[in-house]
Structure 1
Amino acid sequence: MTILLYGPDTYSRQCKLVQFREGVVKRNPDVVQGSFDLSEDGTLYTLHEFASVRGLFSQGKRIAVVRGALGFFGNEAFVRIVSRAAHDPDVLLLLQEDRDRKLDRKTESFCKKNDIQVQYFAKPTVATVRTRVQEHAVSIGVTIDSRALDFLIEARGQDIYALVSDIDKWSAVSTKIDVPFLSKTGEYAAGIGVFDFSQSVLYRKPLAERLSLFERVSSQGIDLYAAFNIIAKMTASKDLIDLLAAADLKIKKGLLDIQQAMLAVVID
């Protein structure tokens, strides 16, 4: 059997890979496992031997995790490997691909012709990211509050793998992740200031609070363009969008610098 796992959701893709492997290992504790990167010279031959019942490896259940396979879909040797896996219940090929775009018709046709099962892992929604990260945190005994998670998603984007890696790293020193904790980390200390300031503008917090946070990020030399971009990306307010657009135009015309433009947005 051959299964192709690809798509931008690296975390879910890796979880599915582990699920397949653990399922086989549970049923067959003596399964032989191998990892192959076809971008490396000679690896295709090694994979061929691994998948062959007459190869260098003993017969029995075998799992091969293969990277870089898409570039070999037209290769005769690779086709023979896939064909053997399709007819040999002892061989499982798990093809892992870091590819965001969906397969083209030619590649889809190749998969169908050669009995390759395909699973695509689309970019997760923010809601999905929140759920998966919270679930992971709970599973390792870590509590992460909502505001801290909002900031991390803004900083990391919808990369679940990067987010859970951060949580795994921090779990060694704390079982509670909140904004005060993040503000003490070298990686995110400056970002917290930008995030807090951006949130104060987005949600139109009291003017005194907005000005206080503006003064803080300005005095710390933090990149105000980052805050400007966060606000522009996250706001759904037409008035705020118009205000940002006007400020951006004045910056481009040289009428205001970024600090003056942001101050105008803050006090409006």
Structure 2
Amino acid sequence: MLITLYGPDSYRRIKKLDEIIGIYRDKYTGLSYERIDVSLDGSLKSLKNIASTRSMFDPVRLIVVDSPLEAEDQKELRAILKSNTENKELTIVINSLQKPPATYKFLYEKPASAQEFPALKGEGLNTLIKQLADEYGVKIDTRTRGVLIDLFGSNTWGLATEIEQFSLGKAQDIEARPAADYFQLISTLKRGYSARERVIALELILSERKDEPARVFNSLAYRLSNNKEANRFADYDVAIKSGKLEYEEILLDLALGS
């Protein structure tokens, strides 16, 4: 069985992915679970081997495939996925920033299923903020919702992180926050001319202000200037969610301009 989750709203997409993984783990005690980033060298061979291996000890298997459109051999990837369309013993969840193109049309046809997670705007953002407020047990009035939307826009990770900070009592009143402090430092970290400037800004944010690294990352990811930056942050996002890198490592990498 194939399930495709795609779209730029990685917060809701990853939440849905985690939900699917949780359902499988709760339902199947002998679940065999793998996660493969197919943009990496040798990953397609690993995916093919794992997908084709059957075991009486693993009656149900789940594989999450990250970065499908960055795989070097798209023809090979399509063949692997298509051959498992009706495999009831194996579920493959495709996790993609971009919508798979027409050459992957079988992902949108039964028995496969696909769900899109577009960037939220307007009422969609209001609805998400209400849901997050309920989830974290905080009250957010209409005016504050507007301020959050002005600050974070469609950056749903930033919204979620900020609302979580409110629930933990770590965030200041959003309208009383010293914007010239935090946001000036974020601007320096993002656009500083030298690595020294950027590292100092990062040190002030994390050590002096003690802002959460996740919040800093999401602030940097808001309103990126070009596709190259967007792709870089998308790669970082996958690395974080797959446990390959920590927020602090990525922030230092960004500050050093690596």
TM range (shorter): 0.5 to 0.7
Contact 2:2-2:113 at 8 Å conserved across structures: yes
The answer on whether the counterparts of 1:144 and 1:178 sit within 8 Å (CA) in structure 2 is no
Q: Which residue of 2 aligns with 1:149?
A: 145
- Report the CA distance between 1:22 and its aligned residue: 2.1
Counterpart residue number, 1:25? 25
Equivalent residues in 2 for 1:112-123 (5 A)?
116-123=112-119
Going from structure 1 to structure 2, the CA distance change for 1:73 and 1:95 (only over 3 Å counts) comes to farther
Are the counterparts in 2 of residues 66 and 93 from structure 1 also a CA contact under 8 Å?
Answer: yes
Q: In 1, distance between residues paired with 2:112 and 2:72?
A: 11
Alpha carbons 2:39, 2:72 under 8 Å: kept? no
| Corresponding residue to 2:102 among 101, 105, 130 | 105
Matches within 5 A, 1:52-131: 52-54=52-54, 59-72=58-71, 75=74, 77-99=76-98, 102-108=99-105, 110-111=106-107, 116-131=112-127
- CA offset at residue 91 of structure 1? 1.0
**Alpha-carbon distance between aligned partners in 1 of 2:86 and 2:72, rounded to the nearest angstrom:** 18
CA 1:63–1:90 in structure 2 vs 1: closer, same or farther (change >3 Å)? same
Question: The residue matched to 2:85 in structure 1 has which SS?
Answer: helix
Higher RCO (CA < 8 A, seq sep 6+): 2
Paired residues for 1:149-228 under 5 Å: 149-174=145-170, 177-180=173-176, 182-183=177-178, 186-188=181-183
State whether residues 11 and 161 of structure 1, in contact with CA within 8 Å, keep that contact through their aligned partners in structure 2.
yes
1:133 corresponds to 2:132: no
Q: Secondary structure at the match of 1:144?
A: coil
> What's the counterpart of residue 236 of structure 1?
none
Equivalent residue, structure 2, for 1:210: none
The higher radius of gyration belongs to 1
SS at match of 1:86: coil
Cα 1:117/1:125, change in 2 over 3 Å = same
Find the residue that maps to 2:34 and give its secondary structure: strand
Matched-pair contact (CA < 8 Å) for 2:40–2:71: no
Shift of residue 28, structure 1, vs aligned partner: 0.9
Instruction: Confirm whether residue 2 of structure 1 aligns to residue 39 of structure 2.
Output: no
Q: Scaled by the length of structure 2, what TM-score is found?
A: 0.60
- Are the aligned partners of 1:3 and 1:117 in contact in 2 as well (CA < 8 Å)? yes
Rounded to whole Å, the distance in 1 between the matches of 2:103 and 2:75 is 16
CA contact (8 A) 1:52 1:84 kept: no
Structure 2: which 5+ runs fail to align?
187-258
Q: Cα RMSD between the aligned structures? A: 3.3
Contact 1:145-1:178 at 8 Å conserved across structures: no
Higher mean displacement: 66-75 or 3-12: 66-75
Deviations 1:87-132 (A, max 9, x none): 3212111111112xx5543343x53589643222222232111221
CA distance in 2, matches of 1:149, 1:185: 21
* Residue identity in the other structure for 1:124: L
> Which stretches in structure 1 are left out of the alignment for 5+ residues?
192-268
For 1:19 and 1:35, locate their aligned partners in 2 and report how far apart those are by CA, in whole Å.
15
- What do residues 154-210 of structure 1 show as CA deviations (whole Å, max 9, x unaligned)? 121122222102222443334885422x3479435899xxxxxxxxxxxxxxxxxxx
Provide the identity percentage: 23
**Residue aligning to 2:48:** 48
Q: State the secondary structure of the residue aligned to 1:187.
A: helix
Do the aligned partners of 1:66 and 1:96 also contact (CA within 8 Å) in 2?
A: yes
The two structures have a TM-score, normalised by structure 1, of 0.58
| Separation of aligned partners in 2, 1:185 and 1:42 | 47
Amino acid at match of 1:40: L
- The letter of the residue matching 2:161 is S
Query: What is the rounded CA distance, in whole Å, between the counterparts of 2:184 and 2:32 in structure 1?
Result: 46
